[in-house]
Amino acid sequence: MSESQAIEIQELFDLVVTGHRSEKSVEALVRDVLDLLDDHSPYLEFKLSDALLFNNGMVSIRENITEAEAQALSEQLQTLAIHCAIRPTLQLVPKDDEINPPTAALYTCPACKHTQVQTKEINEKCEACGVIGDHFLRSQRMKEAVEMERQKYDNELAKSIKEAHQRAQQEESDALYREARRQLGADETSNSDPKLKIAAVIAAIGIGIAALYMFNKPATETPDPSAIAATEAAAAK
């Protein structure tokens, strides 16, 4: 390596999104990042959607930047609850006596799987079906994100309906219970003990039966004193 090449080579870094703690949807979070960085390029939008949707820590949203630039961007994204990692960019330094011609990269269309020589870094168009790969992938990821949000909404709605139904059943049961107590004379608004009420009813019934018995019992006749004296005199003779 010549001295001039060593001077020109600078250590560069990539900014990789490793996850987020935001309660917002991925689509809303992507818009916030684009506004924060004042960069609405389709390339950044695609990278952010990929990184925030899958949270696999494998997608870099900025490549070949200085460490200071990467640190500044990371601090900006932290305000949106997005976690980032700063990783050294993989750099290949050619030797003075060995410069190999670059190997043509191959591109496989995500829609029809046709393979061709890649001519662009992004927005590669398939020669067979005409689909732009990045647009197709972004559309697929957005559909997946929408489906995930829909399932989440459906689950929350079903849970709310179930809880409302259970509350209605409980309220109906409580209403029937209160009505039954009211008809039995044991309304919940009364402070008296239901057991005391039952005992009082039984005691009242017992007193009524006893009074009825005494009223219908035959009276016992009291003997006449003169008749008793006559009987005793006759017995003496």
pLDDT in tens, 202-236: 666 666 666 666 656 655 555 555 655 565 565 55
Helix residue spans in the chain (DSSP H) = 3-8, 26-37, 42-54, 67-78, 133-183, 194-216, 225-236
Number of domains in the chain: 2
- 61 and 109 part of one domain: no
- 83 and 107 part of one domain: no
Higher-confidence residue of 222 and 89: namely: 89
- 36 and 66 part of one domain: yes
For range 118-122, the mean pLDDT: 77
Residue 227 domain flag: no
- Pick the last residue of a domain from 168, 186, 204: 186
Question: 20: which strand partners?
Answer: 82
- How far apart are alpha carbons 48 and 51 in whole angstroms? 5
CATH of the domain at 20: 3.30.1390.10
Residue 61 domain flag: yes
Assess whether pLDDT exceeds 80 at residue 89.
Answer: yes
Max Cα distance, the chain (Å): 174
Residue 7 banded pLDDT, cuts 50, 70, 90: very low
Residue 163 domain flag: yes
**44-53, 97-106, 111-120, 158-167 — most confident range:** 158-167
Residue 234 domain flag: no
Q: Contact 60/84 with Cβ under 8 angstroms?
A: no
The whole domain housing 123 covers 102-186
- Residue of 79, 235, 226, 50 whose CA lies nearest to 144: 50
- How far apart are alpha carbons 63 and 66 in whole angstroms? 9
Q: Contact 52/60 with Cβ under 8 angstroms?
A: no
CB atoms within 10 A of CB 21: 8
What is the DSSP pairing of strand 13-20 with strand 106-108?
unpaired
Q: Contact 117/104 with Cβ under 8 angstroms?
A: yes
What is the DSSP pairing of strand 13-20 with strand 59-65?
antiparallel
Mean pLDDT of the chain: 77
Q: Contact 172/57 with Cβ under 8 angstroms?
A: no
> How much of the chain exceeds pLDDT 90, in percent?
7
- 83 and 40 part of one domain: yes
Residue 120 domain flag: yes
- Pick the last residue of a domain from 67, 91, 115: 91
Nearest-Å Rg of the Cα atoms of the chain is 48
- 106 and 128 part of one domain: yes
Residue 13 domain flag: yes
- 56 and 13 part of one domain: yes
Which helix (H) or strand (E) covers residue 21, if one does? none
- How far apart are alpha carbons 132 and 50 in whole angstroms? 16
Residue 222 domain flag: no
